[in-house]
Structure 1
Amino acid sequence: MVGCNDERAYLSEIISLDEELKLTGNYILFEKSIPVSTDSKIIDRARKLFEPVPLKDYSNGALLNLLDSKGYFSLSSDSQVNRKIKNAFGIILNLYIINEKVINLSIAVNFGTKILLWFGDYGKQIRKKSPFNPKVVYWGSPKKHEIYFLILMSLIGCDVLVLNTSLRDKFDNIDKYNEFSMIIKYPNELPIGAFPAQNTLEKVKIETAQPKSEKKKTEQSTQQNELDNSFLSDPAAVVKLKRTETILEEILVPLSKRSGYIGKPYPILPAYFVRYIGVPASSDDWEAEYYNSLYNLDRSLQMSGSYLKFMEGIVAPSAEESDMIPNRLIGYRFQNRFEIIEQILMAKILPQTHDELLDNTIRNTFVEIVNLFAEKSKNVNISIVLNFSLKIISWFNRYLPQLFPKGNLNNNAGIEAFNYEYNPKILFYGHIKAHEIFLLTAFHRLGCDVLFMHSDEDGDRPFQIFDEENTLTHLIRNKHNLPLDSFPKGERLIRKSTIAYSASKEIEEVIYSEEVGLFKPWQFENYVTQPITLKTTYDELKILWREPSKLRPEFKIQNKKVYVPNLFAKINGVSEELNAYWQDLKELSTAPNTRLMENVPFTKINYTKQELYHSNYLLDEQGLLDELKAVKSSHYKFGYLKAPLQHFLIMKINELFCSGLFLTSVDEKFKLKIIMTILTLDDEMLKLIEVFDYPQEIPKIIIYDNKKESFTENDSILLAYFNLIGLDILIFTPTNYRTIEHFIKPSLFDLYQLPQVKYDLVLPALNNIPTALSQKPGLLSRLFKLR
């Protein structure tokens, strides 16, 4: 029992009932809580029933089976009683696991322990020798775990009565379909004090000098009681909010096929009120799939029976509709909302269906919605409530005849005339206003399935204010957001993955993962690189030179970035055996994707000084290259490349600005030289980057410099850029002259010194150099002793 009517009469009845129940000798009274044992020994004993806990799938009856195996349900010599207790525990544990949104083994065991402690203290009532079955009264608003225990006591044969004078009732959250309890609800709320006794009645007197605010509350309560007795006492359909995560399919299931449905004589209707927000990632082409699902849902709902679709809000009442409201209601000076409701009900301007049960349900719904509006609206006054009430009346008269047409009535007149097996459907698509939410709520309380859809999470904000805790509606929040588009008028073209393709993609996700180390070609083309320039010996460099990136030390993939172990070295002088020097150079230069430069400087200047200085517009306010401006530049030559690679190349230019690779400061003039040098890059050099599949073979640049002419600043820019991308760079200088050291910090590359120095040593045709008799084994060969 929730709430109360007349306080004095109610308390008097409770006192009399308490006296009678005491005479049965089998009566428990819980006053505002169910005491739980604090004895540590008893608690430990209860917990040990769950030890050891071989429970992986605790949601599949494992907790119950564990208690049974410990002999917990052999409490009586009567096997039927024991079986009844076990079944009751099974129902409660299963109900708890179903209802809880977040649960783990620890939570489930703690709940089970508390139930065991309570049952140990109060379950023995069932074994009392008494002509009466046990009576349990709970005074107050029971908490969640207490509700489960009260249901348990009812299942094992106790009569259970909850006396909750407040309107804060949590039973609906647990016993969602009234399977285990029956609710009797009164309109008034009374603070939960001590359990009533005779002296309580003496304090309950009608004060003649009540404060105005208290007097007003009393008057309103009286008016509500009179309203309930006069208009709302007749039977009506009860609607329960049903939840689902697959609303697009479940909304088409008839009421009679849903769990919790009860038909004649007085229906209980499990109806959906779902906010479907965002767009699911249901397929590769999820955007088209979303709009196709909308289109097909709309067509299915059109064929399902009574159906209303709102795409551009709900049109406000017209002048003609407003004229149907009696003038006396508009000009009447109402004292409060109860008087507004009473006068509207007396005017009989709500739609009439000639079905008694449905008409009662419409009246009840109207009263509930007006009260809900008054409770949820801030700074509401009588005028606002009246205007809202009349708008709802106009909307009811406009839409209810469409939702509940007379053709849906059976031939038999009376309380069972309407066919409640199939309920009307409401689809609201797009932006919604506060008053429209209340109308959708009214539709739901009449038994309609209501679906609100918006492709962007911002569209749900009015509902978040209306139903912050999602108790009146069910929220489905999808992965993606899309700007709201018009409702689809046809199906879009879509590509769907075959079963084989989907299976292949799933297998690839497992096999070709960052952790496993197996990579398919170009798997990481949307990633970026981070060079890890290795410090090696000269012999080690020759071993690593032909090894792919993924087999070199320090390689890893992390946070959408491929860490590339690359080589950057300068070799001064030549070997004592000149032929061995040429053989090394030949072996290194014949590696795949290797470019050998025989002349220094090697960078072509493809821009003028004027073009260089005019390019300063490409820099943004932070002094970085603006990608959008660069793409539109007349010097931009990367437009034929894939978009991720174009973005990568520009990103690396900005990274080069801040890299600290250069000896000189990177001022604006130097930045412009970097930009123009890279944007006008020679095609053959650009191909080295194009072919770079980051975990695989690393492209390489070898420079042979045997003259006094040294590297230019443009050469150093390209070498620094290629190093930052992750390419291997090797410079042969038989003269020992300083070259790249003029521009790039020497600490950033290896310097190897061979024994002899040669001047004007001409590079021979490497094809004519004889191959070494025995090649040095590769890294894998050495690891696995293949040679």
Structure 2
Amino acid sequence: MFSCKKIQALDDFFVELKNRREKGVYFYRINGYSENIRDFAERYYEAARLSGVVIEGRIPNPDEKNLSYYGEIMGMDFRMDRNFIMASLRKWLPRMDAYQTEAVTDAMYDILDDMRRGGKNENMLRNAYIKFMCWLYYKFERIINQMGAEKIPKILYEGSVSNYELKLLTLLSKAGCDIILLQYQGDGAYLKLDPASALSAAYQEPGMTSFPEGFSIRSLRQAMQEKVRLSRLYGAQPSVAPCTNAWITGKGLSDGLTDVRQRGQDERFFYNCFIRIRGVEDKLTYINDLFQFQLQIKNSGRKIVIADHQIPAPDMDEISSIRRGNYRDKEQMLQELSRNIQYGSNPELERLMVKAFLDILLEESRKDPENLNRLMNKAVYLLCWLKRYQQQLFVRWKMPDVACFIYLGGCRNDNEALFLKMLIRLPVDVFILLPGANEQCCLEDKLLYEIRCADHMTVERYPTENTEIRVGTAAYHAERELDSLMYQDSGMYRNMQYGKAVSISLQTMYEEIAILWDEELKYRPNFGVVDGIVNMPVIFAKVSGVKDGDVRAYWEGVKKLITPDTLVVKNGSLLDRSSANPIQPFATQFIKNRKLSRDKIKNHKAYQYGMLREEVQDYILDKLQILLDQKSIKGIFENGMEYTAIATVLNLPKDIIRSIQKFDFTRKNPKLIYINTTEAMMSLEDSIIVAFLNLIGYDILFFIPTGYQSVERYFPQKMIEEHQAGEYMYDLQIPDFQSFSANLRHSWRDIIFRRGS
């Protein structure tokens, strides 16, 4: 018989019999968890699966059929005698050789003899003997003919062992098996059966904890199957791996300048860094520090890519270059998509790219396992960006080269965050710079090292040329700090403080129009600023009819609304129809896949807004894009109306362009009063301009004394708030408002808005 020996480490279980320090077997209980134990359990499970027995739950008791077959072959006789047991084993388990039969005989006799000495009677011994014989035949036959070999068979038992199960396992241990008991509930139940731990030993190691919830042989098996699937998915593995941030000193940009050969000596790794810096150390030198940093990176021969405030989304050409199809599951999709990653000149780098791509997307897939389309969209973005930047970052790459990717401004969405997380698994230093106080970044990663500085400043773009460097004086930065104190969440706003705004059309009572008309936007209801975007409450209304039929009072009321910033159209058009539109012939070139081609527009010879501030140009194009997206004019993206809209908005009259240029989103907004006393319908071009100016933030008021639907023709839905002021009147003559004087004996409010008695 074999005796149980002590191990020095769990790896001793996998040592062949002849190489063990002491010739014997191991029988251990594992009552706690560690990563080392998990790794051992996976390895031991695989060994038991291949040449042993895995028991998940209890060993089933022999059923009626088992006992009937046993009785038919062996009968129900029993004698407490070695020769009887040996003869029975030869007949019942004929595949065992003489050595194995003798070992099992001795072990079984020893167990039964212990039971007899413990007070068990003959009938109890017979029942135990028959149970052991059935268990050996039905559950353990595959291993009993392996006992005695150099490769010791393994038994893995999960759960709390019962009395007779422990006796059988002890029998098998003495006959020549290694045994592990995984006891998730601890050792209490076992010690009731073996208080002195005479039959097995409890394994101990530093740092053991309770088994995690859900841990089981089944979960181990699933994890191992997943590893096999992933092995097929990944294919050949790279020979090097990233060592991220382990070597840095925490000095931010200075760490990025450390020579890659001085970062570490282990040839199995490339040494990169992943750093996010919030704020600036010194406002006076920050811009120059950024310039010098990128200059030193370039001068050292390293590759560098700089992204200013966004990683431009892939265009349609980039997306269409990614080969993809229909997929039945996640593994098939990722495997086929990963074939888009090709870098034939450097197979090792290609393997690194494939691994990084798969690592990131497999991690992402756990958030929403069922949504393949969502995962595929993210994968396509990553592949497009990788293709776009791989030449800039990795041309002629060799170990231990490390490129540099600088992102000025935080990640705006998940796709950008995933791309940076993928880059850091490649030989690339990644720096995320957030110098502004209100800049946000959605990226979270356990590898990311973050530095926070006390000062902040606005940096519009990363300085890459000497001509781009602008350094503020101490007085300049002090003034900016004063600005932030005075104008940040204080209700006070400096001139032209914001560059983006959204118009919100107010629903008002008729009487409120005159009250709100000349009021600054910041005092109107629902005004606000969210994330640097101004919400502008504007008036977009139509007044139909003449109150009480009082024509003079009607015109006096209109005159009162004409402010210095008000454009008045009287039975006419906003456009000079005698002049050709220079944009019209080129409008079809300015849009692709329903999105404006902004660079093409701005660089075109017919473009007329190049003299405006850049943010004003962007604001105009933003609102034009919204007008198209919302289909604010009938026929957009249906019959080519989008081209007319583009041509019209890009050819606005000079006075409108000037009013947009000087429009401060927190103060009084420009206004349009459109008067139509005839049956004429507002033209298509005027309708486009009106819809556009509403998005820009104009107050727009139509005076239609006839009550006709003369302004709604080209709008696809009710966009204008209509007020029925009074009696419809026709063929009115519009006065010259410059020479027209109001009746000073009555207030205009009394005249226009007085209620009938």
Asked if these proteins are the same fold (TM beyond 0.5), I'd say no
Q: TM-score range by the shorter chain?
A: 0.3 to 0.5
TM-score scaled by length of structure 1 = 0.40
TM-score scaled by length of structure 2 = 0.42
